[in-house]
Amino acid sequence: MLLFFGRGSAFSDAQNSAFFEPDGGLVLLDCPMSAFHSLRRLASFRTWNCIRVLVTHTHSDHIGGIPMLIHYAKHLLHIPVTVIVPTEELVSDLRFLIERLDGCKPEDYRLMTVAECHFPWLKAAVPVRHSEALEGRCFGYVLALGGQDAVYTGDTAELTPFLPYLHSGSVLYTEAANFDSGVHLYLDAVLPELLRLQAEGVRVYLMHLDDEAAILRKISGSGLLPAPLWREKDRIPCGGS
């Protein structure tokens, strides 16, 4: 199961970022700066042998903390960071940010494509339609977590690309927007599909929430849940209440 440092959209205090901890390491799904600061607190009582970051797309609320994470992991944690992206084009984009703009040294991290990875928990990268300016450079992921298939949509305007990966017993972490912007998954439009998936045995969690209070009202009593947050004070996941 994923835990979340934040489940908010771009203008939230705790922007969307999830994590899990396989084989003594940490895997992040995106790393905004808000997640980096939460990660520092988690690191105070964890011992990892490596950190890996799966990037969904290059909006700053998804990658803004990656260079700082690389610096932090090198100088304070003394463990390697690997940044994973779906395409060679994104390798070039991330290298420009990390090295040219932020000054990380090439030897301080590794940048690789999904095709180069051979991790048992990484099953597929799924192209999605999101921002027109980032056409062809936005993705979600299919993961294997604790014997379950887990679909993580990233930012997307449609659920359709993920439907072939969803089945009874799988888990869906999907963005949900209260406002219909055309570039995010509008909850009012997708709610019947989410309820159908839930009825077919898919566990559904909502993330990247632009108005959490309004979204929680809309799903009240439905069985749909907000993505589970990690809380420092008691070191357990919490719900949306």
Domain 3-238 has CATH 3.40.50.970: no
Cα separation values, 41 from 17, 37, 111, Å: 15, 7, 25
Mean pLDDT (whole number) for 193-216: 98
> Kindly report the CA angle at 99 between 97 and 103, in degrees rounded to 5?
110
pLDDT at 45 (0 to 100) = 82
Classified as helix, coil or strand, 225 is strand
As a whole number of angstroms, the distance between CA 156 and CA 94 comes to 20
Q: How do residues 20-34 score in pLDDT, each as one tens digit? A: 999 999 999 999 999
Name the nearest CA neighbour of 44 among 16, 85, 72, 10: 72
Whether the predicted pLDDT of 234 surpasses 70: no
Whether the predicted pLDDT of 240 surpasses 50: no
Cα 132 to chain center, whole Å?
20
Name the nearest CA neighbour of 209 among 201, 199, 217, 200: 217
Concatenating the DSSP letter of every residue in 8-28 gives B-TTSSSB-EEEE--TT-EEE
pTM comes to 0.95
As a whole number of angstroms, the distance between CA 38 and CA 170 comes to 28
Name the nearest CA neighbour of 2 among 176, 240, 232, 205: 205
On whether the CB atoms of residues 43 and 75 are closer than 8 A, the answer is no
pLDDT at 44 (0 to 100) = 83
On whether the CB atoms of residues 28 and 18 are closer than 8 A, the answer is yes
Cα 32 to chain center, whole Å?
10
- Amino acid code (one letter) for 148: Q
Mean pLDDT (whole number) for 220-226: 97
